[in-house]
Structure 1
């Protein structure tokens, strides 16, 4: 008899290392700092950019015949502020200090609105020139 009401579990931890990733299917096997193996499909960004970040996972425990107990995730989220992660990990050369300052100035919703509707306003922010703005926008369109 199959159970249709499968329970999901939550797991959080710091991503320690990516053991395997398939660039085509985005299937990933990784390990958390507590040496817990996790596996699943992650499309949002290059998973290797998440190494060192605290992540939240939803999924189920499985036992692989060769690799033992693993947590198979259905969802993976970065625990820190999503826009902060975007600014510091996805955009090359954007410092944590700059990310904090831009989020303090515009707020999360304000920054999203600017990125979507009036990106040239970011040229008024210290350190953002045309080339950096183009890089931010290219990354933003593939990230969101």
Structure 2
């Protein structure tokens, strides 16, 4: 029996999963070291941490998968902008609420923005490929 060949997109999934785990660990470690509090209840804390972990995982995994599978660059740029904006607000802006806590809470909106921008890039790149025969989405890895 010879070696099994993996599906073409399995490396994109692996990179996305690994990137999502690393991103979630880094952002959650930052949250815990800066004193973000979830709740006094153990159940509420577990739900809050799980929600934040799932969100940060998806905010990295989805853009990385789209980059590897279809060479879409804009989702990574949007995620990077959102994190950079959060860092900026946390560091320099005088705000009544914590920007990092907001980032961990409103991640579905950011993920929706990431997917929307990815769809727009997809449409533009498919159109360019049809008109110019170049710049079409393709698999990177």
Q: What band does the TM-score fall into relative to the shorter chain?
A: under 0.3
The structure with more strand, counted as a fraction of residues: 1
TM-score by length of 2: 0.25
TM-score by length of 1: 0.24
